[in-house]
Chain A
């Protein structure tokens, strides 16, 4: 029996397009049919842009038939997290406040996807304004983990991860501020990558925490991620924090082995109370990499335990300012002013924002307030420097760091919603690389006793994307975790 079209990887689909055995329209229809059959259960998408996708697919097919050069992603259906602006397609940030917001502009990453010929199939569900670790903070309802729909997919880029795990798209974009790509990648058993801060433009990406936000790809394989990264990376004159530095051929970084690779294993990432299966899978992955010729050594990142507190002060401080623009004056759902101008703001924001967004705005406002700034914001900035220095020190001796992604596998819906602190602690192993602005990739490396996926995080030095891709690819080629797929949802047409 032949592989259904939706089961192809991005690289396989590209090859089939090139040899003419499928059209972009075929792939697009396959993806749309798959979404129609499964998204009732998983809810990966807030908006499915079927008409635009079909039109793009037909245009790309016509272009290919005319012999015009095709881009790297020509004809490939891609899902885009709903915090990334797409001109003419509504972009809600999973918030009620932006329910009807249709941006008149594309994010730079959207432009780059389009220029590479990608077919944007829809806008992926996520936590509201990318604030969350479980995808339960979406104003449009939670996304569910395809491996077990009673569990969360991780957040905030949950829908971008489930779209890949559930074979609804061939690739997707997410954003990672404190782990928002890596956690869902681990929980859903797919590959996800957060590039170095400044590697990918943030222009048009609805800001959560500007000094941390970074766009990155999800794929079924390391190769698929490398292809997408090559498309979206690069300097953007419209983002002053994007770095003007040549983009290497990431695809060329693959295919090597792990021989000679020096892997550091930070002891602070193996903590009391973590799920034994997670530690076991990560230790086994290290053995695998050792067998592939890598050397492993124990290292220490002594300020790791401060990362969560540091992250939640800095990220919320920036968020409290970034979300000031949602005032109902120029766009978004404005509520009536029943008692002067202040009530217009109050009512718009009270009804427009969900509880977690409000919590973070309040936390951040507090951290920046007169009399508290030095004790919170400034102190956190100093801790951030210490965390960065931890990494600088170990990268003098190792090429990449290998760690677990989270202390446990995916938890159940509602398990942590009443305990924000427990939810924040899910980010304990992902926040440090965010604060240091480092590239990190997650590859599947096992399953726990309940069958839930486990991820391996590989962290590189600044602009060490090639190193982490090479290590991840070598591991992936030596294992078969990335070939495992979640069960079909009940009621879905096979």
Chain B
């Protein structure tokens, strides 16, 4: 760590924009899906044509309440929409419909775990708003184009208090928040596609100081790593500047991922006056207790609760529970395997090892919800059952598993087709042992002369002779009996 940073402490707050997984946009019936040809998902409303009016998609409110309840926020019973006025080509009406006073959620917190300690990060607010279109530069000579497919896609803006102090904490907070919105089914959390975006407010102050330093807003990070790197760079830049006797200015800076540095975009002096005022086209939203309670009752089990249950109900190590609950689909996959067979520890080992390796290799976790598992949960459960009932050994199981990746057959069918059933017949194994010992009389003599580590050699010979199918505990038992006889 930079020595300068020892004298300073970082103060970091994050603003996350999460695109909601509603079928249609927030104020019109157009599809909110990502990836359509430019301007296909548009209509007069999300293009801001003269005279058109917004009509609220109620699902957006439901999703926002879901998030607020999961994060322990206070839910506002009376909500107002506000207009945020500014000019930009991707903003079709000259204003964005957002919330200003009276956001739907206030307060709440997330507990994050960094370096064996738990830290509580409080939230300031969560509000609903519409996304803008997207400007496309440089692709068409000196003209820029605008794609309005994203215009009107519903967003949740989730604002934390400035309570994180390191890039690691910011990363942990972001990952936790993404896991949560994915669990809640309200956002797919894809930073590369921009459905989960993060801006960071970063400042430094001398350790022990209570006043906040000059705040810099950092934008344009499109991965968790980029957020961590940009914050690390910015903390160091600010500490260096102060140590060199320089002044920091309140400004917005952009992260340049290629050069791994932040660059000034605009200073506070040129900041907008957004002239927020209540949107007269949309009446206030009044939420009933019934509405909120219905959503509360339908909340899925949240990651923290599930992690604790995995430890207490399945006896998993805390680390396993953390990994398995990091994605809702992964946790559900694990539970499906356990439900089909039991042996949670074996299920966890297979998933933590081979399954997660394959997920990464095949980039399956790019999808919001993994449906295309390397092997179906039922088959993984059946494989573990074959081991537990002694039909195959753990070693053979690895072979069967590889086969399962390219075959739709059940593990049992594969084992039978390939003749991989474990040899547990004592007389058959005994016969092999006799052959092995008879073939190496000198080694037998050495063993009996005290060179007991030769046991491994004999086991290996027996396994080799049986094509790995001999039941290992049985081999050991019979071999010892013979050698010690």
Contacts and interface: CB of A to CB of B under 8 A. Distances in A.
A59 B300 CA distance: 58
B50 A240 contact: no
B51 A205 contact: yes
B483 interface: no
A330 B48 contact: yes
Contacts of B44: 103-105
Contact of B51 (A107, A320, A321, A324): A107
- SS class, residues of chain B in contact with chain A: loop
B49 A103 contact: yes
A202 interface: yes
B51 A204 contact: yes
Interface residues of B, number: 28
Contacts of A85: 50-51
B350 interface: no
Interface string B424-437: 00000000000000
Interface string A71-115: 000000000000111000001010000100101110100000000
Nearest to A318: B280
A271 interface: no
A135 B299 CA distance: 58
22 contacts: A103-B44, A103-B50, A103-B51, A204-B51, A204-B52, A207-B51, A209-B280, A210-B281, A238-B55, A240-B56, A241-B282, A317-B277, A321-B85, A321-B94, A324-B87, A324-B95, A327-B89, A330-B47, A330-B92, A331-B49, A368-B276, A377-B277
Interface of A: 83-85, 91, 93, 98, 101, 103-105, 107, 202-207, 209-211, 237-241, 317-318, 320-321, 323-327, 329-331, 341, 345, 365, 368-370, 373, 377
Given A237-B55, A240-B282, A241-B283, A325 B50 contact: yes
A239 B273 contact: no
Interface string B324-352: 00000000000000000000000000000
Contacts of A211: 280
A368 B49 CA distance: 23
Interface of A is mostly: loop
A325 B51 CA distance: 10
Nearest to B45: A238
Contact of B89 (A93, A317, A329): A329
Given A325-B92, A329-B89, 7 more contacts: A91-B50, A105-B49, A240-B282, A241-B283, A331-B49, A368-B85, A368-B275
Nearest to A323: B94
A147 to B, nearest CB: 32
B53 A345 contact: no
Contacts of B176: none
Contacts of A341: 89
A327 B146 CA distance: 14
B56 to A, nearest CB: 7
B287 to A, nearest CB: 16
From A98, A325, A327, A368, residue with most partner B Cβ within 10 Å? A325
Given A104-B44, A321-B83, A327-B87, A240 B53 contact: yes
A93 B50 contact: yes
B273 A203 contact: no
B92 A210 contact: no
A239 B283 CA distance: 10
Given A210-B281, A240-B283, A377-B277, A327 B94 contact: yes
Given A321-B275, A330-B47, A370-B273, A203 B52 contact: yes
Nearest to A211: B280
B283 A325 contact: no
Interface in B3-53: 44, 47-53
Contacts of B47: 330
A211 B275 CA distance: 17
B54 interface: yes
A345 B87 contact: yes
Contacts of A325: 48, 50, 92-94
